[in-house]
Chain A
Amino acid sequence: MALTRDEVLHVANLARLSLLPEEIELFTRQLNDILAYVEKLQELDTTGVPPLAHVIPVFNVLREDEVTSGLSREVALENAPAREEGAFVVPRVI
C-alpha cells in the first residue's frame, strides 16, 4: 500500500493542509515508512474479535434535557481572528 506523490497531495488536500514543495518528497517517504510498519497488524488473525470502541465500558451517557448556561456571545468571540456585528468573519464563500 505504498503512497504515491499524488496520493500524498490528495490526502493533504482532504486534511486541508498544503505541503511546502520541499516537504512533499520527505513526507511521502516518512508516511510510507510508517505505513509499512503498521502493516504488521495484518499478521494477526482477528476473525471474530469485536473492535474495541470503549476501553472502559460506558454506554448511553445521557442527561436531563435542562437548559444550562453556556458561553455568552461576547466571550465566544473574544479569540476571533476577525469579527463583525457579533459574528465570525471569513473569506467569502458564495
Chain B
Amino acid sequence: MTEPLYSLSISRLAPLFAQGEVSPVEVTEALLARIKERDGEVNTYITVDAPGARAMAREAAARLSQGDATPLTGIPLALKDVMVTRGLRTTCGSRILENFIPPYDATVCARLRRAGAVFLGKVNMDEFAMGSSTENSAFGPSHNPWNRDYIPGGSSGGSAAAVAADLCIASLGSDTGGSIRQPASLCGVVGLKPTYGRVSRYGLVAYASSLDQIGPLTKEVRDAAILLQAIAGHDPKDSTSVKAPVPDYQAMLGQEIKGLKIGVPREFFGAGLDPEVEAAVKAALKTLTGLGAELIEVSLPHTEYAVATYYVLAVAEASSNLARYDGVKYGCRAEGKNLLDMYAQTRTRGFGAEVRRRIMLGTYTLSAGYYEAYYRKASQVRALIRQDFEAAWRQCQVIATPVSPTPAFRLGEKVDDPLTMYLSDIFTISANLGGIPGISVPCGFSSRGLPIGLQLMGPVFGEADLLKAAYAFEQATDFHRRKPPL
C-alpha cells in the first residue's frame, strides 16, 4: 500500500477492508492525524470527534471480522453540520446553536451508523445553509484546498473541501439551491443532489422545506452511488419522502452511453459565463459525444426567472423555519428586558447578517398584503420552471450544463454584495425548483488551477441513469484523479 490511506475512496477501501488488508482503525487514525496536521490550513471541521470515531472504527473492525459488513462499514465520513447527530454537537455554522447537542440522529445518520460507517466529525457550512461561499459561517470560512485564497463554494463548503483535501473519505452535504453541486464543482469533487423526496429530511435542520435535500460529496462517482444507496428511501418520519422503490445505483455503472440524448439548454451558455468554464464544459460535451451520446439543443425558457423565484420562496420558508430559534428550549439565549426582548436579543446576536437578511426578506414577502405578489407569484413561476423540464424530457434523457458561471472567486470578493452572490446560483437553482436530481463531476481546471465542474440533470427518480452517464464521463477522463497541493 503505497498511497496514503486517507487518499483512498470508498470504492477502493471497501475491498481492502473485506480482504483484511487494511483495518478501519488504521484508516481512521490516519485521517484523524491528517485533520490535526492540516485542517488548520482549510478550516473544514467545526467539531472533530476522535473518541467517537475510534469507537465506531473498532466496532466496524469487529463487524468486518464477523463477516457482517456493508460497503460503508469502516468508512470514515464527515457530515455537514446541518444534520443532527445524537450526542455530537451540531451548530449549523451558527452561534445560536454553538452548544447544541442533539438528543437524536437524523435518519440519514442513523442509517449510516447501522451500515457501520465512522463519523469523523461535523464540517463547516454557511450558516443555516444560507450562502454560496462558506463565508457566512460563525466559525470562520473554509478555504479551497486548490488555492487557499479562494472560496470552496457553499453552503457545503466544508464537505467539499474536506473530500478534496483527503480530510475524510466522503461526506454528506445538503442542497437547497446548489449547495452540494456548486462547492463540489469549485473543489473538484463529485456532488449529487437527489430528487426531492428521495432522501429523508428528518433531522436535517430545515432551511427551505420544499427545496432541501441531503446528498453525497465524494472522490469518485461510484462512491456517490454507494452513499446514495445507503441513505435513499422512504422514511415514515418525513412526510415529504416518497415511497418510490430504490434501485441498485451501481447496477448500470460501466454501461455504455451510446445513443444517450443529452439536452444542452441554450439559456445556460449566454453572457456572464466565464470563457474558461464554457471551454471546459464544451470539451466535456465533446467527450460525451465521443462516447456515443447525442447532443440536442433544448430550451428552458424560464431559466432567467429561477434566481428570483428561489429568493422569494426559499427566504419565505426560511423565515418560518428559523422562527423556532428563540432561546427558549435550546441554543444560545441572550438576556432581555422581557420575553419579546429576549427573543430579539437572542436572535440578533445569534444569527449572522445573511441569515437575518433572508429572514427579513421572507417575513416581508409573507406579510399581509404581499403574499400574492411574492410567494404565490413565485410558486406559479416555479410551476412553469417545472414544466420547462417536463418538456425537455420529451427530447432528451439528461441535461448537461455548467455548474457555476465562474470558477471559485477570492475570499471576501463578494461579501459586500449579496445580490451578486445570489446570481452565481443561476445554474443549480432550477433543479431544486423542479425537484429533479443533479450531479456535478470534475471536468477541468481554470488557468489559475481552480476546478471546473460539469452538471448533469435528470428526470425525477432518474439517479441511476444520471450516475451511469456521470460514471461514463469520469472514466473517460482523469480530472478526478488530480489532488490539490495540500
| Cross-chain contact B333 with A81 (CB below 8 angstroms) | yes
B353 at interface, CB cutoff 8 A: yes
Contact B347 A23 (CB under 8 A): no
C-alpha gap A72/B192 in the complex (Å): 36
Q: Which residues of B contact A (CB under 8 A)?
A: 99-101, 103-104, 195-197, 210, 236, 239-240, 242, 302, 304-305, 307-309, 311-312, 319, 323, 326-333, 336-345, 347-348, 351, 353, 356-357, 359-361, 363-364, 367, 373-374, 376-384, 386, 418-419, 422, 433-435, 460
Q: A11-B364, A11-B367, A46-B381 are in contact. Are A58 and B357 (CB under 8 A)?
A: no
Contact in complex: A15, B460 (CB < 8 Å): no
B238 (CB) vs chain A CBs: closest residue? A61
Query: Is B239 a contact of A41 with CB atoms below 8 Å?
Result: no
20 A–B contacts from the bound complex (CB under 8 Å): A7-B364, A14-B367, A15-B319, A17-B359, A23-B353, A30-B419, A31-B357, A34-B422, A41-B378, A41-B381, A44-B384, A49-B380, A52-B380, A52-B382, A52-B386, A56-B195, A56-B242, A61-B239, A90-B339, A93-B338
How near does chain B come to A61, taking the closest CB pair, in angstroms?
4
In whole Å, how far is B5's beta carbon from the nearest beta carbon of chain A? 36
B residues within 8 A CB of A40? 304-305, 308
Q: Is the CB of A27 within 8 A of B242?
A: no
Cβ–Cβ contact B240 & A58, under 8 A: yes
Give the total of A residues in contact with B, Cβ under 8 Å: 53
New A-B pairs, 13, CB < 8 Å, besides A7-B364, A38-B308, A56-B196: A3-B364, A17-B356, A27-B360, A30-B419, A31-B360, A31-B361, A33-B419, A34-B361, A38-B311, A41-B374, A46-B377, A58-B239, A81-B330
Closest residue of chain B to A47, judged by CB? B380
Asked if A86 is an interface residue, CB under 8 A from chain B, the answer is no
Is B305's CB under 8 angstroms from A16's CB? no
Contact A58 B242, beta carbon cutoff 8 Å = yes
Contact B433 A55 (CB under 8 A): yes
Residues of A near any B CB (own CB < 8 A): 1, 3, 7-8, 11-20, 23, 27, 30-31, 33-35, 37-38, 40-44, 46, 49-56, 58, 61, 63, 71, 75-76, 78-82, 88, 90-93
Q: What is the bound-complex CA distance between A63 and B347, given in angstroms?
A: 35
On chain A, the residues within 8 Å of B348 by CB distance are 17-20
Q: A17-B344, A30-B357, A80-B329 are in contact. Are A93 and B339 (CB under 8 A)?
A: yes
A56 to B481, CA, bound (A): 36
Contact call A31/B364, Cβ cutoff below 8 A: yes
Q: Which residues from B are CB-within-8-Å of A79?
A: 99-101, 103, 329-331
In angstroms, how far is the closest chain A Cβ from the Cβ of B374? 7
> Could you count the A-B residue pairs with CB atoms below 8 Å apart for me: how many are there?
166
User: In the complex, which residues of chain A have a beta carbon less than 8 angstroms from the beta carbon of B380?
Assistant: 44, 46, 49-52
Q: Is the CB–CB distance between A16 and B360 below 8 Å?
A: no
Measured CB to CB, the nearest residue on chain B to A39 is: B308
Please, how many angstroms separate the alpha-carbon atoms of A8 and B340 in the complex?
18
Closest residue to B330 on the A side, CB-wise?
Answer: A79
Q: Are A91 and B339 in contact (CB under 8 A)?
A: yes
Which of these, B344, B376, B384, contacts A16 with CB under 8 Å? B344
Partner of B360, one of A11, A20, A41: A11
**Given A41-B377, A50-B383, A52-B386, are A91 and B338 neighbors across the interface (CB < 8 Å)?**
yes
- Known contacts A33-B419, A41-B312, A88-B328: A52-B336 contact under CB 8 Å: no
A30 to B330, CA, bound (A): 31
Select from chain B the residue with minimum beta-carbon distance to A15: B363
User: Are B363 and A11 touching (Cβ within 8 A)?
Assistant: yes
Find the A residue at minimum CB distance from B354: A30
- A50 — which chain B residues lie within 8 A by C-beta? 380, 383
